[in-house]
A = this chain, B = another copy of it.
Amino acid sequence: MQDLYASRTDRTAAIIARQDPVVYGGGSYAQAIEPAQLSSYERDGFLLLEDVFSEDEVQALLDEIKRMSADPAITVLEEAITEPGSDAVRSIFRVHELSERIGLLARDPRLINVARQILGSEVYMHQSRANMKPGFKGKEFYWHSDFETWHVEDGMPAMRALSCSVLLTDNNACNGPLMLVPGSHQQFISCQGQTPENHYKKSLKKQEYGVPDTLSLQLLVEQGGIQPMTAKAGSVVFFDCNTMHGSNGNISPWPRANVFMVYNSMENTLQPPKYGLKPRPEHIATRKRFQALEPVEAPATAG
**Stoichiometry (number of copies):** 2
Q: Taking A173-B173, A226-B174 as contacts, is the C-beta distance between A252 and B136 under 8 angstroms?
A: no
Contact across chains for A174 and B228 when beta carbons are under 8 A apart: yes
Our pick among B176, B177, B253 for the contact of A221 (Cβ within 8 Å) is B253
Contact across chains for A251 and B251 when beta carbons are under 8 A apart: no
CB under 8 Å from chain B, chain A span 216-254: 217-218, 221, 226, 228, 230, 246-254
Q: With the chains together, A203 CA to B49 CA distance in Å?
A: 43
A140 at the A/B interface (Cβ < 8 Å)? yes
Chain B residue numbers with a CB within 8 Å of A249 are 140, 248-249
Contact across chains for B214 and A253 when beta carbons are under 8 A apart: yes
Chain B residue numbers with a CB within 8 Å of A53 are none
Q: With the chains together, A16 CA to B298 CA distance in Å?
A: 53
Q: With the chains together, A252 CA to B136 CA distance in Å?
A: 20
**A98 to chain B: closest CB distance in Å?**
29
Interface of A is mostly: loop
Q: With the chains together, A174 CA to B246 CA distance in Å?
A: 10
Q: With the chains together, A217 CA to B226 CA distance in Å?
A: 30
**A296 to chain B: closest CB distance in Å?**
36
**A87 to chain B: closest CB distance in Å?**
15
Contact across chains for B248 and A250 when beta carbons are under 8 A apart: yes
Contact across chains for A173 and B230 when beta carbons are under 8 A apart: yes
Contact across chains for B217 and A136 when beta carbons are under 8 A apart: yes
Q: Taking A136-B214, A217-B136 as contacts, is the C-beta distance between A251 and B142 under 8 angstroms?
A: yes
A143 at the A/B interface (Cβ < 8 Å)? yes
Chain B residue numbers with a CB within 8 Å of A221 are 252-254
Contact across chains for A252 and B179 when beta carbons are under 8 A apart: yes
Chain B residue numbers with a CB within 8 Å of A136 are 214, 217
B-binding residues in A (CB < 8 A): 135-136, 140, 142-143, 173-174, 176-177, 179, 214, 217-218, 221, 226, 228, 230, 246-254
13 A-B pairs, CB-CB below 8 angstroms? A140-B249, A142-B251, A173-B173, A173-B228, A174-B179, A174-B226, A176-B248, A214-B253, A217-B253, A221-B254, A248-B248, A248-B250, A249-B249
